[in-house]
Every structure is written in structure tokens, then in C-alpha cells.
Copies of this chain bind each other. A is one copy, B any other.
Amino acid sequence: MVDEFTARIEALGFAAADARTLAEHFADCERRGKHGHGRTRVDWLETLPDLQPAARPERLVAEGGYERWDGSGALGYLTLAAICEAQLAEPPEHARVIAAVRTFPTGALGYWARRLADGGLVAVLTATSPRRLPHPEGGPPLTGTNPLAIAVPSSDGRAVVADTSMGRVTYGDVLSGVAAPEELVPFGGEHAHKAFALAVGLQLVVDALAGPDYGAVLVVARPDADPVPALRALAAGRRLPGDS
């Protein structure tokens, strides 16, 4: 599947390495059942009139505890891939916050967070996208689905990767007809105000640090401890977030 996707993306004008980076993300999403971020996105790329396959994300600020990146017309996937690569190449001494402006679309955020955790870093990542979630009391869409991905490495090799969208259904579900548009609301039913609050908070953090276009905010940190194995033992075989 990766080879097929890579070939199709190269045919759009992308360099071989970028095409493979994109293909690996889409293929991983397919394997994990996140079809809205998988093959359908390869199809979708083929329909875009204004792709800039040669655009390269730029790192505008690089300090010990902070980086600022600009997608500069590149696909958000490639911007996040470049950011992950840079963090793994030069991890922070303790922790670092990364603001990524003009970074869209970003795909399955858990995929990028997992890459960082597999390289030994704790990662917390969120990103904005078109406003689709209304207030629980109704009205126009106020926030994106604004997923929050959290990945924590483990000495047993099985990082925990939580990747939670604040929507009751995905936009992909609506596009594919699996869900009705009116189901795209904050999740939680009678407690939807909680998911709405999270979506608003994450929206404003990204808008304040990486806006006004769609952007992403990432925190990476070196762990001081290895808490996953003990949690797995306590869970006694129950599935933890990100387990396949």
C-alpha cells in the first residue's frame, strides 16, 4: 500500500522522499482503521488544484525551549514530519514548545505523536482545522474538531498514544455519509459542554500561538520516569489508548 500511495503522490510532482513520508502516514491510518485520514486523502490530493509540491516548511525560530515553524505552502503533513524529524535529531534538554503556523492538513495527530514517543520523547500535539463544532446550545460552528494527541514512551516498547477529537463523529464520517451533518457536534451527550470547552481552549491556544491560519502547537519533553509499564499492569490486559 505504501508503494502504491508513494507512486501516486510522486506523480503529482512531489519528491520521492516527501511522497514516501506522505504515503507512510496515509497507509498507517488505513491500517489503524482511520480511513478518513488514509486512502481517501490520496484520492483527495489528486483533486487539489493548487498543490505546491516543491514548497518546504521553514524553521523561523530555534531556541532551546521554543521553535516556530511556517508551513510556507507545504502540506501540513510534511511540516509536522519535518518538525518531528528536527525534534528527534535535536531533542530538548528538558522540554520545548513548538508553534507551527500555516500547517494544514495535519492528518492523524497520533501518528506524529507516536513517532516522537517511539524516539523517546513525551509529545502533546493539537491542531486547528475548519470550524465544524457548534456550541452545545446551537448556532454556527465555533471551533475545529481540534484533536489532542498525547504520546508517552515506554521501556516495554509499547508507547501509549491517546488521540482524541472533540467531535462526536468525524468530518470524514459526514463526507462519506456514515454520519449526518447534525451529528458533528462536541462529543459527550449531556456532558457535551466538556468536550466543547476542550475544543474552545485548544482552538484559542493554537490561534494565540500559531494563528491566524490553521496551525499546530506541539510540546515535546524528555521523560524523567517510565510510568507506562505500571499502568499496563494495573489495567490487567485492558486496551490502553493507541493499542492495536
Contacts and interface: CB of A to CB of B under 8 A. Distances in A.
Interface string A202-222: 111101111110000001010
Interface stretch (A44-52, A78-86, A230-238): A230-238
A91 to B, nearest CB: 13
Contact of A225 (B63, B92, B207): B207
Given A66-B93, A142-B231, A231-B203, A99 B187 contact: no
Contact of A209 (B165, B224, B228): B224
A163 interface: yes
Interface in A131-169: 131, 135, 137, 139-140, 142, 148, 150-153, 160, 162-165, 168
A152 B64 contact: no
A152 B208 contact: yes
Interface in A86-103: 92-97, 99
Interface of A: 61, 63-66, 68, 92-97, 99, 122, 124, 131, 135, 137, 139-140, 142, 148, 150-153, 160, 162-165, 168, 187-191, 194-198, 200-205, 207-212, 219, 221, 223-228, 231, 234-236, 238-241
6 contacts: A131-B234, A148-B198, A164-B194, A203-B227, A203-B231, A208-B221
